[in-house]
Chains A and B, each alone.
Chain A
Amino acid sequence: MEYPITYQKYEEGLARGEFLALQCKACGSVTFPPMAVCRECSGSEMSPVSLSGKGQVRTFTVVRVAPEGKAPPYIVAMVELDEGPYVIGNLLDLDPDQATMDLMGKEVRLGSRLMKGDIYSIGDAHALTFSLMK
């Protein structure tokens, strides 16, 4: 098989502001970030699909003790996208000290930003970001 959307293509998509996802021809589930098979049914027949870029906060934390190379505090959130996938990224535009349980279920818009790589990583790469809908 040929890997449907490689990480490099996904990353280039993020750099252009696009979120490259895959929809399963068998069960209809959307897989994002892209993988070799459908996240729900392991089907390998998938076609490219675009995302609305909207979702809801399902959980979060404020990281205050960070890995070397990262500058805390920052918010990490898990968001359920309208198309079904859950993704992990950084919630921006909110003071980490203002992050409370009120964030649960809040609607957010998906984005990304370039993060600096370290000697252990494959280099600079985009991480997903979330912004609260006004």
Chain B
Amino acid sequence: MREVAILGVAMTRFGISEKTNLEMFAEVGIEAIQKSNLAPKDMGALFFGNCLGAFEEGQLHMAPFAHSELGLPVSAPATRFESACATATVAIRHAALLVAAGVYDIVIAGGTERAAKMGTPLATRTFAMASQAQHESNAGITFPGVFAMAAHMYADKYKVDLSVLKMGMAEVAVKNHYHGAMNPKAHFQKEINVDTVLGSMMVADPLQLFDCCPFSDGAAAVVIAEANKAKDLVEKPIFVAGMGQASCGPLYLQRDITRVRAREESIHQAYTQAGIGPDEVDVAELHDCFTIAEILAIESFGFYEFGKGYDAASRGETRLGGKVVVNPSGGLKAKGHPIGATGAAQVTEIVEQLRGESGARQVEGARVGLVDTLGGDLGTVCNIILRS
């Protein structure tokens, strides 16, 4: 397999957009191609992420339209990926795999989503479609509900008083908003405190509104190339050191939902390929769709022992300046979560961090970064480890 690198990256501001999915994707796609010192005709293929275009805009089969918006040649196939919230990361992984395999030399990958456009009731309904329809969604489970059940199980399993766990979760939200306030692309650029979280409305016990990421609109894209080509084209190519992806069926088959089995397998693959362990990761963009989700993730990565990660944010260890900076972009919580675009935005953040381009939220001396995206009710996890 050939070495693979990332060239240009781009994302829209996340939040509420009046632009269509295709318009948002065109903006970031063209920007990513231009930053790579390339032209649309140089792209060998488009790996395109979108989850809910059918509900957002009545649009299926968006990939070939995105292809035309970018002006790609007919010879460059455009394929849509859908892996719920992990969509764009899975698209990028497959793009990198096919470049590594020598099928393509230069490709573009990313995603777009207009989730806020649907409004909360329809958005909640469509997100719940990523739970098993007959045996989970039918009982009215929601995504906050899934992670709420994980939080209750965590408190019970590790004998952590629920009020103590909730304080640790609130500190995750406070930390991610602190980071997001320094990110001009974030949906929410405003600091909060634990009282903001603990005083907010209950969404799914014990998760309150500020434990939850928002529905957002946005797009992000990255250009990927064989490493030697990348070195010729850009000053600071960022190398794909390791990748992983794993699957695990419906929630009720997973049983102990404090342990995300797909993530444990995926990160093992990525660490093994990269030849590193958790101590070598300087910065992580991980899937904090809910505050408890960040706690589960840092334990899966081996940053913390299982049952010990719940107060990492309280101790400042995952904050800018801490021992491993988690979600300097603001994460899904503050940066926002346009599901089909999220993974590409996480890659964008890590690439910019490793290039030293992140301004006020720059992680000093970051050389190794981890991307983590979770899809559905713990059914898909995809990890990408990048190095400068």
Contacts and interface: CB of A to CB of B under 8 A. Distances in A.
Interface of A: 7, 33, 39, 58-70, 72, 74, 76-78, 80, 85-90, 99, 101, 104, 115, 118, 120-122, 125-128
Interface of B: 120-122, 124-125, 128-129, 133-142, 144-145, 148-150, 152-153, 155-156, 162, 201-207, 251-255, 257
A88 B156 contact: no
Query: Counting chain A CB atoms within 10 Å of each CB, which of B125, B138, B156, B204 scores highest?
Result: B138
A67 B142 contact: yes
Nearest to B201: A64
A101 B156 contact: yes
B210 to A, nearest CB: 13
Contacts of B257: 59, 78
A61 B138 contact: no
Contacts of A104: 152, 156
A125 B252 CA distance: 18
Contacts of B149: 59-61, 76-78
Given A86-B253, A101-B152, A65 B136 contact: no
Chain B residues touching A, majority SS: helix
A32 to B, nearest CB: 9
Contacts of A68: 121-122, 124-125
Nearest to B204: A61
Contacts of A74: 140
B141 A87 contact: no
Contacts of A99: 205
Given A115-B139, A120-B129, 4 more contacts: A74-B140, A78-B153, A86-B254, A121-B133
A105 to B, nearest CB: 8
Contacts of A61: 144-145, 148-149, 152, 204-207
A88 to B, nearest CB: 5
B134 A125 contact: yes
Contact of B124 (A7, A65, A87): A65
B254 to A, nearest CB: 8
B252 A86 contact: yes
A65 B120 contact: yes
Given A69-B125, A78-B252, A125-B134, A63 B152 contact: no
A80 B252 CA distance: 9
A126 B135 CA distance: 9
Nearest to A101: B162
Contacts of A87: 135, 252
19 contacts: A58-B153, A58-B255, A59-B156, A61-B144, A61-B205, A63-B144, A64-B202, A65-B124, A65-B204, A66-B140, A68-B125, A76-B145, A86-B255, A87-B252, A88-B251, A104-B152, A115-B140, A120-B125, A127-B140
B182 to A, nearest CB: 29
B152 A89 contact: no
Q: Closest 7 interchain pairs by CB? A: A61-B148, A68-B121, A67-B125, A59-B153, A62-B205, A127-B139, A59-B149
Query: Counting chain A CB atoms within 10 Å of each CB, which of B125, B137, B139, B144 scores highest?
Result: B139
A89 B129 CA distance: 16
Nearest to A10: B134
Nearest to A33: B135
B154 to A, nearest CB: 9
Contact of B141 (A64, A86, A88, A121): A88
Query: Counting chain A CB atoms within 10 Å of each CB, which of B128, B142, B150, B207 scores highest?
Result: B142
Contacts of B135: 33, 87-88, 128
Contacts of A66: 121, 124, 140, 142
Contacts of A121: 133, 137-138
A77 B149 CA distance: 8
A61 B134 CA distance: 19
B140 A67 contact: yes
A7 B132 CA distance: 13
Contacts of A69: 125
Contacts of A88: 135-136, 139, 141, 251-252
B142 A39 contact: no
A106 B2 CA distance: 55
A8 to B, nearest CB: 10
Contacts of B162: 101
A69 B252 CA distance: 23
Given A68-B125, A78-B252, A88-B136, A63 B141 contact: yes
